[in-house]
Amino acid sequence: MITTLSQAPDSIVLEPGQSLRTCVDAGTWLQVAEGRVRVVSPPGWFGGTVFMSETVLDEGDVHRIEHGGWIEVAALTPVHLRVHVPAVSLAPASACSEARPVMRFVRLLTGW
Tens digit of each residue's pLDDT (9 = 90 or more) over 12-34: 899 999 999 988 888 999 999 99
What percentage of the chain reaches a pLDDT higher than 90?
42
pTM over 0.85: no
Position 12: which residue type? I
Confidence of residue 11 (pLDDT cuts 50, 70, 90): confident
Residue 88 predicted with pLDDT over 90: no
Q: If you average pLDDT over residues 40-57, what whole number do you get?
A: 86
DSSP-derived secondary structure for 36-99 = -EEEEPPPEEETTEEE--EEEE-TT-EEE--S-EEEEEEESSSEEEEEEPPP-----GGGTGGG
Residue 48 predicted with pLDDT over 90: no
